[in-house]
Amino acid sequence: MSAGSHDDAVLPMPELLTHSRRSLLGRLAMLGAGTAVFQRALADEVTKSGKLSEAQISHAEWIAGLTLSESDRATLIRSGDSLLSELQQLRAVRLEPSVLSSLRFDPEMADPGIRERAGSSAPWLSPANVETAAALPVELTDENLPWLPIRTLAALLRAGRLTSERLVQLALSRLKSADPQLLCVVTLLEESALVAARQADAELKSGHDRGLLHGIPWGAKDLLAVAGTTTTWGAPQYRDRKSDQTATVAAKLAAAGAVLVAKLTTGALAMGDQWFGGKTRNPWNTEEGSSGSSAGSAAAVSAGLVPFAIGSETLGSIVSPARRCGVAGLRPTFGRISRAGCMPLSWSMDKLGPIARTADDLGIILAATHGADSGDPCSVDRWFEWPQQADLQRLRIGRVTNSKLQPPEQAALDHLRAAGAQIVDIELPRSDADDAITVMLEVEACEVFRELSNAGTTEGLNAWPRIFQKARFVSAADYLHASRLRLQLMQKMAALFRSVDLYIGGDDLVITNLTGHPCIALPVMLQDQQPEPRPVCCTMTAGLYDEASLLAIAAIIEKRADVLKHHPGLKSAPAEKK
């Protein structure tokens, strides 16, 4: 539009300009046009009418009690023309949710020495010798096989007392039987799983051994793509979605000989335990959900349907369902496991990790899946070997004093103190702004699913529509401000880990998901609950890339706690699918 345009000369605006008030305010402020009152009034006029004209500028002048020159008015028209043209060009480009952002989160920024320290074992760790022969059961039944740890199953496979085909058939049978109660299965991969199991048996018989996971069944949270299968993300809009890609973590497990038997439920777009098929249930009490969003992964492991599963966490989605279902879950350091081929939610916060029965199981799975991958620019190679044992005399284990100490956390500390551990009091760095920093997650999720957000889609998406709407009001400046506060939090956590090696509890899901630190949920005691007593978990958090210490300490607690022998009864009435 020319500078001499009249009242009837208007600038067409894209449909989504109603979300551009902050962009326009920023442009007006940059120009120094008028006062703050004038800028807000003009932005309101434009977002209401969907156009920019000299009449609207005049009206805003009247509200603000000022008069602009013709030159200032012409400058505003040109600026608006430029802004709207830029926005229209940006919004015209459609992107799949899988397309990455050019911004990369780096948890190492706050601790320059971490890369060198993460290149080798911690000084209190040493390789462990794990004996399995004495633990092998005399009799193998369909009742005891589902509860055996991976290392024991591997020994039975190599001793010729068990076949992968039998294990897989048992897993498939149990998944079919329990799913009406738990609603934890999206897709059963019966045909491909049996083919893979027979291949694993043939390879092991011929002497081709891929490692401890060779022939072991597993389940995948249904945001991991597997070529030829549906990957629904738990949302009705994607229930028929197929990909020709296989997630890197699934490919690594296949290379290790593990057999994928099922795609397991996730809450819609990785939120909660509600998906398009209903609510995934807790095996210890099917009247309640299994928590989310790795709902099916935790429920299936807890019920003995699969020996292990892969889940994901952005803000609690491994730790929370593991605690609800009374199983072990590991959220590794940000970047430990490649996310390539997985549904993104927040590029700067998403993490993948295993859910299993024991700390040793978690270590075996992490050993097979960690490492840098070109498909995920945030993934890294850092030292990890398993199994390891820890010298408690050389470790400083923190007890968090500025958070209420829960019974399972006290139980874990008691076990460690009895084993000779040094317990020190610490305070976690807390700020009123910590929760607010998670607006970064909301903004990133809104952009990942911009097509759903732009369309105003609400069906089956849990609370996401409201969150997407809220995220539209966050400016780029607000996002970057949150990012700067996040770095300060990372620096405070780096300082904390100079005085302690790991800590118990602390109610730290928000803090450590923002900083990228690893955390484990571990069953440590039985608690009287209805309809039956169930295992409850503590959480432990360690320094960046120090999963080996977490797992070694968890193994000590696990042996002393002795709760793994308890299994859910699944006695409640079946839940109904929608």
- For residue 2, pLDDT over 50 is answered with no
Question: What SS3 class is residue 57?
Answer: helix
Angle (CA) 503-440-24 rounded to 5° is: 160
Instruction: Give tens-digit pLDDT for 245-282.
Output: 999 999 999 999 999 999 999 999 999 999 999 999 99
Compute the average pLDDT of residues 30-54. Answer: 64
- For residue 51, pLDDT over 70 is answered with no
Instruction: Give tens-digit pLDDT for 287-339.
Output: 999 999 999 999 999 999 999 999 999 999 999 999 999 999 999 999 999 99
Q: Please give the pLDDT value at position 85.
A: 73
- In the set 290, 297, 317, 379, the catalytic residue is 317
Query: 176: burial class by Cβ within 10 Å (0-12, 13-18, 19+)?
Result: middle
Residues 230-255 as b/e (b if ≥16 CB within 10 A, e otherwise) read bbbbbbbbbbeeebebbbbbbbbbbe
pTM above 0.85, yes or no: yes
C-alpha–C-alpha distance, residues 196 and 277, integer Å: 28
- For residue 223, pLDDT over 60 is answered with yes
For tokens 């296989």, what's the residue?
Answer: 246
Q: For residue 22, what pLDDT band results from cuts at 50, 70 and 90?
A: low
C-alpha–C-alpha distance, residues 57 and 79, integer Å: 13
- For residue 141, pLDDT over 90 is answered with yes
Dmax over Cα atoms in the chain, in whole Å?
93
Least confidently predicted of 6-15, 414-423, 475-484: 6-15
Q: Is 126 annotated in the active site?
A: no
Q: Is residue 299 within 8 Å of 266, Cβ to Cβ?
A: no
User: Which CATH fold would you assign to the domain 107-130+140-434+465-561?
Assistant: Amidase signature (AS) enzymes (3.90.1300)
Checking DSSP bridges between strand 396-400 and strand 422-426, what pairing results, if any?
Answer: parallel
Per-chain mean pLDDT for the chain: 90
Q: For residue 95, what pLDDT band results from cuts at 50, 70 and 90?
A: very high
Q: Where are the alpha helices (DSSP H) in 263-326?
A: 295-302, 319-325
C-alpha–C-alpha distance, residues 408 and 328, integer Å: 13
Instruction: Give tens-digit pLDDT for 97-117.
Output: 999 999 999 999 999 999 999
Q: Which of 388, 409, 407 is nearest to 539 (CA)?
A: 409
Query: 55: burial class by Cβ within 10 Å (0-12, 13-18, 19+)?
Result: middle
Q: Please give the pLDDT value at position 383.
A: 98
Q: Please give the pLDDT value at position 519.
A: 98
Percent with pLDDT over 90 in the chain: 78
Highest mean predicted confidence (pLDDT) among 97-101, 126-130, 192-196:
192-196
- For residue 26, pLDDT over 50 is answered with yes
Instruction: Give tens-digit pLDDT for 451-466.
Output: 999 899 999 999 999 9
Q: Please give the pLDDT value at position 555.
A: 98
C-alpha–C-alpha distance, residues 514 and 431, integer Å: 13
Instruction: Give tens-digit pLDDT for 282-293.
Output: 999 999 999 999
Q: Is 5 annotated in the active site?
A: no
Which comes out higher in pLDDT, residue 243 or 574? 243
Q: For residue 8, what pLDDT band results from cuts at 50, 70 and 90?
A: very low
Q: Please give the pLDDT value at position 571.
A: 59
Q: Is residue 280 within 8 Å of 295, Cβ to Cβ?
A: yes
Q: For residue 130, what pLDDT band results from cuts at 50, 70 and 90?
A: confident
Q: Is residue 361 within 8 Å of 327, Cβ to Cβ?
A: no
Q: Please give the pLDDT value at position 1.
A: 32
Q: Please give the pLDDT value at position 484.
A: 96
Q: Please give the pLDDT value at position 13.
A: 39
- In the set 221, 263, 279, 351, the catalytic residue is 221
Q: Is residue 36 within 8 Å of 44, Cβ to Cβ?
A: no
Percent with pLDDT over 70 in the chain: 89
Q: Please give the pLDDT value at position 50.
A: 53
Least confidently predicted of 58-72, 281-295, 387-401: 58-72
Q: Is 221 annotated in the active site?
A: yes
Instruction: Give tens-digit pLDDT for 156-177.
Output: 999 999 999 999 999 999 999 9
User: Could you tell me how far CA 472 lies from the centroid of its own chain?
Assistant: 23
Q: Is residue 255 within 8 Å of 200, Cβ to Cβ?
A: no
- For residue 406, pLDDT over 90 is answered with yes
- In the set 291, 293, 302, 379, the catalytic residue is 293
Q: For residue 34, what pLDDT band results from cuts at 50, 70 and 90?
A: low
Q: Please give the pLDDT value at position 418.
A: 96
Other beta carbons within 10 angstroms of residue 551's beta carbon come to 31
Q: Please give the pLDDT value at position 403.
A: 96
Least confidently predicted of 13-22, 55-64, 359-368, 408-417: 13-22
- For residue 7, pLDDT over 50 is answered with no
